[in-house]
Amino acid sequence: MKEAIGTTGLVMNEPLLWEKSRKGRCGISFSRKDVPDASVDADLAGEGPDFPDLSEVDVVRHYTRLSQWNFGVDTGMYPLGSCTMKYNPKINEKMAALPGFAEAHPMLPPDLSQGTLRLMYELERYLSEITGMDATTVQPAAGAHGELTAMLLFHAFHRKKGEKRTKILIPDTAHGTNPASASLCGYASIPVASNEKGVLDPATVADIMDEDTVGIMVTNPNTLGLFEDNIRKVCDIVHAKGGLVYCDGANLNAVMGIVKMGEIGIDAVHLNLHKTFSTPHGGGGPGAGPVCVKKALEPFLPVPRVEKKGEKYEFVWNRAESIGKIHAFYGNFGILIRAYTYILSMGKELKTASQHAVLNANYIKEKLRDVYHLPYDRPCMHECVFTDKAQEQYRITTLDIAKRLMDYGFHPPTIYFPLVVHGAIMIEPTETEPKENIDAFIAAMRAIAKEAEENPDLLKNAPVKTKVRRLDEVTAARKPCLCG
């Protein structure tokens, strides 16, 4: 590797706003008052908030400097496995900022909201087509919210049949939020071990699937970055016992336009618009986690539903079997606009996006397999999983590798997940990274592997070029400081 992307530079120190404060400074000007002053009872008002006194230049420089400490998808490669941190096209932002969308009030009547209703109506149908399902709700606000919605749908389905099932099967390669979502619906999570190939074994599922089990929550492709080869057989086993199959679609970016979930036996699948469909991801949201379902579950979808009657669109509330409302108004509409724009701009190329994501991940896997341990030596999907087993002899861990990668100018990949792989290093390049960026990442990872052998102390002290050095993460987790 000739030159690392990461380097040192003019990065300013920045104190807290209260430390910058100087009495009498003010960054705003108020218009002349046209009403008399009114006194407020001191006992009622209290002391008031402790706002710092700052000029305009103080405020602008403060937030500009802090932004220079940040790293995001607009800065560089963000290879978080299982998260699909891909580039967000700016055309999406332009469409979401159109005044007719951005300034639309959520309480406007349908007659004044035809454009927004049409967008939601069409987006639901696009997502149903992409997944091979029959109906969709775009109301859920995030992936885990979509999981919960699906579990509520499953509960309503079985309740209508007069059944009270208490358990649900969850593979060890499923996303970690799946058991939590099931527990919120009162279901006991029954773990299902994957086989030596990293996928579900139908015989294992058959042994534990019974009439007291709601169904199974499968992540496909799973968190090892592998496609569940036996998914059809697994679905048949679950359906034979009257159960339902939920698919965590957080990893749809690997199979978008290629795999029809509805055709392989899936009854409900949630999608992360803030992953697969290029909307902003991270920072606490907002996100969107639509749920697509087969016909049997459609009556239970959340209300209101958007329907087209003649040439008009309207909200329909009178769905007697609906699980009800699961989000204020109708969801995070600004995110829906971005996903809708992405689908229209990509068209049939959605399939190509997934093909490139899979190609990029397999390229990284092949280029690093001789220096990092590969626990599952088989073609992967959108992400590849390595471990630190080859570096253990030098007492170098996955965490050391991740910290050192920051010195080379790359955000670290996901580490220590999935839990079924000891010392996991989970890399997802996505389709939006050009080959030269991926080659630079590969060169950095190979250089780190060499440093682990020749200079392990360097890795133990990494990162050395970043604004903030390695933190005491154990103490931070055990004794968090929440007072600012």
Looking at residue 12, what is its pLDDT?
A: 81
Structure tokens at 250: 């957080």
CATH 3.40.640.10 domain locations along the chain: 104-346
> 102: how many CB neighbours lie within 10 A of its CB?
12
| Among the listed residues 291, 269, 277, the one whose alpha carbon sits nearest the alpha carbon of residue 137 | 291
Q: Specify whether the CB–CB gap between 361 and 383 falls below 8 A.
A: yes
Instruction: Give the pLDDT score at 284.
Output: 59
Range(s) of the chain covered by CATH 3.90.1150.10? 349-470
pTM of the model: 0.91
pLDDT digits (tens, 9 = 90+) for 227-252: 999 999 999 999 999 999 999 999 99
The band of 282, judged by pLDDT with boundaries at 50, 70 and 90, is low
> What integer pLDDT is reported at residue 1 of this predicted model?
57
pLDDT for 473 equals: 82
What is the per-residue pLDDT for 72?
Answer: 87
Question: What is the per-residue pLDDT for 466?
Answer: 87
Q: 96-126: per-residue pLDDT in tens?
A: 999 999 999 989 999 999 999 999 999 999 9
Phi and psi of 475, rounded to 5°? -65, -40
How far apart, in whole angstroms, are the C-alpha atoms of residue 248 and residue 231?
13
Out of 114-128, 192-206, 271-285, 342-356, pick the least confident: 271-285
Contact between 319 and 303 under an 8 Å Cβ cutoff? The reply is: yes
- How does pLDDT run across 145-203, given as a tens digit for each residue? 999 999 999 999 999 999 999 999 999 999 989 999 999 999 999 999 999 999 999 99
Task: Return the pLDDT at 281.
Answer: 83
The Cα 76–Cα 189 span in angstroms is: 38
* pLDDT, average across residues 298-320: 96
Give the residue among 280, 258, 484 at the shortest CA–CA distance from 382.
258
For the chain, give the mean pLDDT. Answer: 93
What pLDDT band is residue 39 in, cutting at 50, 70 and 90? confident
Four-residue CA torsion sign, 329, 335, 338, 341: negative
Q: What pLDDT does 469 receive? A: 86
- Lowest-confidence segment of 24-28, 145-149, 407-411, 423-427 by average pLDDT: 24-28
Q: Check if the beta carbon of residue 315 is closer than 8 Å to that of residue 304.
A: yes
Does the pLDDT at position 484 exceed 70?
Answer: no
213-224 pLDDT, tens digit per residue, is: 999 999 999 999
To the question of domain 104-346 being in CATH 3.40.640.10, the answer is: yes
- Per-residue model confidence (pLDDT) at position 162: 96
Over residues 415-470, the pLDDT tens digits come to: 999 999 999 999 999 999 999 999 999 999 999 999 999 999 999 999 998 888 88
Picking from 363, 380, 449, the residue whose alpha carbon sits closest to that of residue 421 is 380
pLDDT digits (tens, 9 = 90+) for 360-388: 999 999 999 999 999 999 999 999 999 99
Whole-number Å distance between alpha carbons of 354 and 431? 7
Residue 283 pLDDT class (50, 70, 90 cuts):
low
Q: How large a percentage of the chain has pLDDT more than 70?
A: 98
**Among all chains, which residue has been given the structure tokens 């999406």?**
92
Q: Which residues pair with 135 in a beta bridge?
A: 293
- The CATH code of domain 349-470 reads 3.90.1150.10
Q: What is the pLDDT of residue 223?
A: 95
